[in-house]
Amino acid sequence: MSDSRLPVWPRNAWNWGAVWRRNFLAWKRLAFASMVGSLADPMMYLFGLGLGLGAMVGRVDGTSYIAFLAGGMVASSAMLTASFETIYASFSRMHVQRNWDAILHTRLTLGDVVLGEVVWAGSKALLSGTAIMLVSAVMGYSAWPAMLFSLPIIAITGLAFAALAMIVVAVSPSYDYFVFYQTLVLTPMLFFCGGVFPIARLPHGFRQVADLLPLTHAVALIRPLMLGRVPDEGWWHAGSLCVYALCAFLLSTALLRRRLMR
């Protein structure tokens, strides 16, 4: 395939929708099982830690521990859903099923394909994060309707982590390498970015590292909105997530171009 057939940039503002629609049509046949799988871990954390550990912890930052935990679980659900959809499903479509090869013989560019995959993973992240948020609201742990303002943040979080996971897809030779990303990147972020306990309780050095990670920005926005509060430095956190999403998208597309040109 010649270099001209793999431009980094999307051809236009809507071509990616064809990739999104293709993935949606394939997913909807297994939608129920997919949703259950996406929600299982965050819901177990929410009720297992929230009800069990919450009975010993009491109140955190002026609210019950399970209400505090709910915001972190919504953010982490968006992170995990977007990441797993990308590193497993997108990798399979590219490397195993060779769907990308067929798509790239149409008028779509590599940029269109990657953007469609990222937006699709972000859409699934929005769906799973919203589901957990609604469960939290029904149980009385989230403020209605203030929590609805967190929906755009959940979507941006999904886009950011999908784009970051696409970098992993671009450099991984096989599925076996994804375990390193899960255990060395995603799991530490879950516990050190404020999802389970306040960042203020961490040692100073850990706090400095946590402040640079994307999940920290997501939690800093989603949690207060779910509790009916105004986030501190909201524009800074939202801008940081957008920068992560854009830079990771550009880097992943460039790396994928180099990989597919081999």
Give the integer Cα–Cα distance in Å for 222 and 132.
Answer: 12
Q: Residue 2 above 50 pLDDT? A: no
Q: How big is the CA angle at 240 (ends 63 and 121), to the nearest 5 degrees?
A: 85
61-109 pLDDT, tens per residue? 778 888 888 889 899 999 999 999 999 999 999 988 888 888 988 888 9
Query: For all residues of the chain together, what is the average pLDDT?
Result: 87
Nearest-CA neighbor of 162 among 245, 103, 229? 245
Strand 63-64 versus strand 59-60 pairing type: antiparallel
Count each helix (H run) and each strand (E run) in the chain, helices first.
Answer: 13, 2
Contacts of 163 (CB under 8 A, 6+ apart): 118, 244, 245, 246, 248, 249, 252
Q: Any idea which residue has 């236009």 for tokens?
A: 12
Q: Any idea which residue has 């400095």 for tokens?
A: 208
Question: Domains of the chain: which residue ranges?
Answer: 3-260
**Better-scored residue on pLDDT, 146 or 126:** 126
79 touches 193 (CB < 8 A): no
Q: Which residues pair with 64 in a beta bridge?
A: 59
Please give the pLDDT value at position 116: 96
Give the integer Cα–Cα distance in Å for 92 and 65.
Answer: 39
Confidence of residue 48 (pLDDT cuts 50, 70, 90): confident
203-257 pLDDT, tens per residue? 888 889 999 999 999 999 999 999 989 998 889 999 999 999 999 999 999 999 9
* Phi-psi label, residue 98: left if phi above 0, alpha if psi -120 to 50, beta otherwise: left
Q: Residue 184 above 90 pLDDT? A: yes
Confidence of residue 55 (pLDDT cuts 50, 70, 90): low
pTM of this structure:
0.90
